[in-house]
Amino acid sequence: MSNRRAAGGFRRRKNGRVPVRELVERFYGRLWNQVDLAVASEILHPEVSFRGSVGLAAVGRTEVCNYVTMVTTALDQYRCDVEMLIAEGAAASARVRFSGLHSGTFLGYPPTGRRVEWMGAAFFVAEQNMLRDIWVLGDLASLRTQLDHAD
């Protein structure tokens, strides 16, 4: 692999492709953990198809950014911690721990002030050096149990 850097600081391979691993790392590290919505134009295909860990779907960068804003507004200190990331060719999968402080209405539950966390499995497909398809399954049963049992 070449160490050449492309626009946005991405390492490009000799074939000109940005490794999907790097796209996924920025997706969680910058878009979600830093709530850096500007990075969406660097890593998300204009017509990205996204299904989030809480079951909501979005199409296009703007809708994905709206989803990020909705989640990070309802859950202060929101984090996506990638515990495992496997990438091959244009596809990747990750095991992710999602967590945050429930400070706003979320999934119809009023704020509890409690920390919640749940696990998820995420699947990514890259196209034209951007994430084109993102499908995340979250353990909603665990999340809803935490929200239901808030003191």
pLDDT in tens, 5-37: 444 555 555 556 899 999 999 999 999 999 999
pLDDT at 14: 53
> How deeply is 119 buried, as exposed, middle or buried, from its count of CB atoms within 10 A (0-12, 13-18, 19+)?
middle
Q: What is the mean pLDDT of residues 83-105?
A: 98
Give dist(CA 50, CA 100) in Å, integer: 21
Give the CATH architecture of domain 7-148: Roll (3.10)
What are the domain boundaries of the chain?
A: 7-148
Residue reference for tokens 């050449």: 4
Residue reference for tokens 């946005």: 8
What pTM, to 2 d.p., does this model score? 0.88
